[in-house]
A and B are shown apart, each in its own frame.
Chain A
Amino acid sequence: MPKTLFEKIWDAHVVLQEPDSPAVLYIDLHLVHEVTSPQAFNGLREKGLPTRRPEQTVATMDHVTPTIELSLAAMDEQGIKQIRQLQANCRDFGIHLYDLNDPQRGIVHVVGPEQGLTQPGMTIVCGDSHTSTHGAFGALAFGIGTSEVEHVLATQSLLQNRPKTMRVHFEGQLGAGVTAKDMILALIAEIGVGGGTGHVIEFTGPAVRALDMESRMTLCNMSIEAGARAGMVAPDETTFAYLRGRPSAPVGEAWEESLDRWRNLSSDPGASYDQTISLDAAALEPMITYGTNPAMGGPIRQPIPTPARESDPDRRAALEKTLRYMDLAPGKPLQGHPVDVVFLGSCTNGRLNDLRAAADLLRGRKVAEGVRMLVVPGSGNVRRKAEAEGLDEVFRQAGAGWRHAGCSMCLAMNGDQLSPGQYAVSTSNRNFESRQGPGGRTFLASPLTAAASAVAGKVIDPRVMCGDVKREE
């Protein structure tokens, strides 16, 4: 029987499958951060349980950490408590921690791949929904709750019902100024925030093959915003080239052996999926969201939908409510709408190539008067590499703030946040009500669109500034 990539990894990790029970699935790599783990470690302590395989768990701190300076002095009491607790938990249970001042520290989903911890064929979990990011390497990676964090710490296993599979095929190639972020926003707009529920998505097709690893991570990262359990891309030479030489990647003979194994990790010809969706990458345009979930978006020049045209009364009411929260007029495109804040960062778009793309656009330009732009690299590594290339100078010259690594305004737990009523173009992944600060309003878009909008002081198609599209309409 031909198998999909998902089926190959799943089957290779089932420890036990009793009738009428979920499978016991073995977990190769477990990632931990400060917000979703304290109660899991408390549970181990209460039950007197050790960690089964501490060397297969790695911890970092990212959600509550400050970005202005890397010191506890810049944090509130509760945040400090979470940091201290993670430090104590990692010490007591023998888990490697990228501590606050560790040069490798960063957002959990940026650090794993960067360190070569994330590898093809693995099962990877973290108490964080964007664990789907790691699927870019052809791993089965998904977010779990805190109870499950405790299960993995204690048994290196999880109870899981087998998900269904969905193939998302991108035909053709992306046009200039259109990115992986636009691909995933287009998919979510098409299938909805619940469209992938119960499924693991495999991204296929020429447009996906042409993406570099960082872009594949962007694509898989937001699979969860379509409700999918995980997103994945079969590994290929691009994957192997990225991994080679990373600190935790295999070396020598082990590398060759791994390569042999990894090369088998594509879906077999004729393998079947529970669902298949095809999109034309060449027809995609820069995308932006206008609403309060990631599916409420569309091409940047397209008008915002009109509630009156919505025939379903529930959907009409939901759209009205959203537009009220966002204080937007229906029927007009978002392009041209004033912007207060631009956030470049997060595990979706806080990697080196994202920063490069934005810096290329900002070079020799200025962030518009009255707009606050925050650039937050995804990890200490990304930050240092960007500085080595002089990107920090480009951002500073343009008038943007250059910060330390962390989640920052993606979820606004560390003090970086919108004020009530402010509009932000954000490269992060969620535009939920108040996600980026109580009363804040978020337009999700690519780093290119974010940078261009910072310069224009309003939402703008980045292709106008790259010279790919003649003029603003």
Chain B
Amino acid sequence: MNPFKTLTSPVIPLLRDDIDTDQIIPARYLKVTDKAGLAEGLFAGWQYLDDGDPNPDFPLNQPQYAEAQILLAGDNFGCGSSREHAPWALAGWGIRAILATSFADIFYNNALKNGLLPVTVDTETHAKLAAALDSAPSLEVRIDLPAQTVKLPDGTEAAFPLDPFSKTCLLEGIDQLGYLLKHEAEIAAFEGSEE
């Protein structure tokens, strides 16, 4: 996992609530046995027109967002299926952080394990950013993980929550499995006491 410290990037607006993981990556793209190549299926139902051509109205297809690494969604992002293919597809496309007013639990956990930062912003900041994007689509936002803040171009700064453990893992690019393996003795002792 690549460490995450700060990120400055344009923001792709995808202002819908309850974007489920079936929309992020439909089931027909899940017949894979590795993690690569999933970006092709990212938001497939919205990314493509009926004839298979890219939908020019869909923000991810617009040239100003070609290099963008931040996505702005509505409430309850990532609800539904537990498929980790969702963060794999987002990361595969180049997304490194998602701003939303709330996230579904499983998606939130899955994202953190893939170096994808879920940033929960308050409704006021969210509305402000959405409005700013409306008039200046290519504005940039700065995410500072050590400080746990999001900075808008007008200078507004908003703090976001993150548990200290996940923060350390992201900052240092640590895989959580390492932590569990380090505690093998305690796990063995627990198993012994259970029997």
Show the binding face of A for B, using Cβ within 8 Å: 15-16, 20-22, 24, 26, 35-36, 38-39, 42-43, 47, 49, 52-53, 63-64, 76, 78-79, 81-82, 85, 127-129, 143-148, 150-151, 154-159, 161, 163, 193-194, 197-198, 227, 229, 293, 314, 318, 321, 411-413, 430, 432-435, 438
Contact = CB atoms under 8 A, between A and B. Distances in A.
B79 A193 contact: yes
Contacts of B20: 293, 430, 432
A243 B191 CA distance: 24
Nearest to B107: A145
Given A227-B104, A314-B17, A78 B45 contact: no
Question: Which 10 residue pairs are nearest across A and B when measured between Cβ atoms?
Answer: A78-B31, A194-B76, A145-B110, A38-B33, A145-B84, A143-B82, A146-B84, A147-B113, A129-B82, A432-B22
A155 B184 contact: yes
B45 A433 contact: yes
Given A39-B34, A197-B102, A314-B17, 9 more contacts: A22-B165, A26-B187, A35-B83, A63-B30, A151-B177, A155-B177, A318-B18, A321-B16, A411-B81
Interface string B149-170: 0000000000000011100000
Given A129-B81, A413-B30, A150 B177 contact: yes
B27 interface: yes
A16 B75 CA distance: 33
B190 A411 contact: no
Contacts of A155: 177, 180-181, 183-184, 187
A78 B29 CA distance: 10
Contacts of B16: 318, 321
Contacts of B81: 128-129, 411, 430
Given A20-B165, A39-B33, A293-B20, A197 B84 contact: no
Contacts of A79: 31
Given A38-B34, A194-B104, A227 B183 contact: no
B18 A193 contact: yes
A22 B108 CA distance: 14
A144 B106 contact: yes
Contacts of A144: 82, 106, 109
B113 A194 contact: no
A78 B184 CA distance: 37
A43 B88 CA distance: 15
B190 A15 contact: yes
Given A129-B106, A156-B187, A293 B18 contact: yes
Contact of A145 (B34, B80, B113, B164): B113
A42 B34 contact: yes
B163 A22 contact: yes
A318 B106 contact: no
A128 B187 contact: no
A36 B79 CA distance: 17
A39 B37 CA distance: 13
Nearest to A80: B31
A24 B179 CA distance: 10
A314 B194 CA distance: 51
Contacts of B109: 144-145, 148
Contacts of B87: 145
Contact of B176 (A42, A151, A198): A151
Contacts of B27: 63, 411-413, 435
B106 to A, nearest CB: 6
Nearest to B114: A147
Contacts of B23: 432-433
Contacts of B136: none
Nearest to A44: B177
A150 B105 CA distance: 19
B35 interface: yes
B82 A432 contact: no
A15 B183 contact: yes
A438 B187 contact: no
Contacts of A20: 163-165
Contact of A161 (B83, B113, B163): B163
8 contacts: A78-B32, A81-B31, A129-B82, A145-B109, A147-B110, A147-B177, A157-B187, A314-B17
B74 interface: yes
Contacts of A78: 31-32
Contacts of A21: 164-165, 179
B26 interface: yes
A145 B15 CA distance: 25
Contacts of B181: 49, 154-155
Contacts of B176: 147, 151, 159
Contacts of B113: 145, 147-148
Contacts of A432: 20, 22-23, 80
A385 B35 CA distance: 39
Nearest to A26: B190
A433 B37 CA distance: 23
A418 to B, nearest CB: 13
Nearest to B169: A159
Contacts of A38: 32-34
A145 B82 contact: yes
A144 B81 CA distance: 10
Contacts of B165: 20-22, 159
Interface string B48-63: 0000000000000000
B100 to A, nearest CB: 11
Given A129-B80, A227-B76, A434-B22, A197 B104 contact: yes
A370 B161 CA distance: 53
B191 A24 contact: no
A438 B28 CA distance: 10
A119 to B, nearest CB: 14
